[in-house]
Amino acid sequence: MDTRRLGYFVRVVDVGNITRAADSLHITQSALSQHISALESDFKTRLLERTGRGVQVTVSGRSLYRYAQGILRLEKAARIDLRADNDAPAGLVTVGLASYSMAPGVAVPLLRAVRERYPNIHLQLIQNLTVVMSQAVLFGQVDMALIYDPGYVKGVVFDQVLKEEFHLVTSARTPRIGSRGDTVTLKEASRLDFIMPNELHTVRRVTDAAFHAAGLHCSVVAEVEPDTVLRDAVVNGLGATVLPLTAAREHFAPEEVRVYRFADTRLCTAMSLCTPEVQPLSHAAALVADLLRTLLLDASVSGRRAASA
């Protein structure tokens, strides 16, 4: 199989238009169309549907897109590994980070630790993917992912590293809720409008389940995926949200928001390091995983100290 053609196919899917994809690849549109046609002939199925606005990916095309990303990442990893000095750990290591969690907060410390200890390791940190992070690990799109533990998923394993407790976060402009200082009941919180991730996200599912169990409704007025958009929306008083305490401290300055602990329930879930069940990590990936576990252990200890202070 010509991996170059897979790369062309991935670019077309990402751009959504053959003409613009050809321009970005510095080849002609006709040449790019021929490469896509050759792929369709090779797999004996249509991968893209041409429309007046560009292209749409077929069901088969979506499947190939997921596998192609893994194949291309492995090819890049092999090239980096083979070019490296064999006396030092080297290679491409890709780490997925869950949104709306403390995971992005360890990104810079992890990058710093890798640069200091293993300068020949090429680190990729990814937060937003078109598939669920555990599936990305399964498909080989990422080596590992720091995510909320979803329970059993065939083909991957979860190493629980810490627990996250969710808190209510409102704008500092929003009047204080209740009379208990930094705590709030679910009933008091149910009077607010919420800005949350979509229904598939763990933060949303845990929050909805807690309100439902109490016979209450969580009024979600907007679903937002980028963390930066959520941050700005909450600060500007457009709605409240629910986040782990570590993520709230990471995203907001203390003067921008009020953070409340739930007085009548504990909204919490585990953060786990997700890795492939059968395929062993490369030497470089195993070293990065060890660094990540150490950073998470330190973060967990610091979080417990801050909570008890």
Highest mean pLDDT among 16-20, 30-34, 240-244: 240-244
Residue 225 carries which DSSP code?
Answer: -
- The H-or-E segment that residue 186 falls in is helix 186-189
Mean pLDDT of 96-112: 89
125-169 tens-digit pLDDT: 988 665 678 888 888 889 999 998 888 888 999 999 888 899 999
pLDDT of residue 86: 61
Tokens of 176: 């204080």
CA–CA dist 196, 190 (Å, integer)? 14
pTM, two decimals, is 0.69
| The token pair that represents 151 in the structure block | 């329970």
Place of tokens 């088969």: 60
Tokens coding 191: 């009077």
Q: What is the pLDDT of residues 169-222, one digit of tens each?
A: 999 999 988 767 789 999 999 999 999 988 888 889 899 999 999 999 999 999
pLDDT at 117 over 90: yes
- DSSP secondary structure letter of residue 104: G
Model confidence at 304: pLDDT above 60: no
- How many beta carbons lie within 10 A of that of residue 50, not counting itself? 11
Question: Lowest-pLDDT range, 83-87, 114-118, 202-206, 231-235?
Answer: 83-87
Instruction: Judge residue 216's burial from the number of C-beta atoms within 10 Å of its C-beta, 0-12 exposed, 13-18 middle, 19 or more buried.
Output: middle
Residue whose C-alpha is closest to residue 294's, from 139, 96, 112, 85: 112
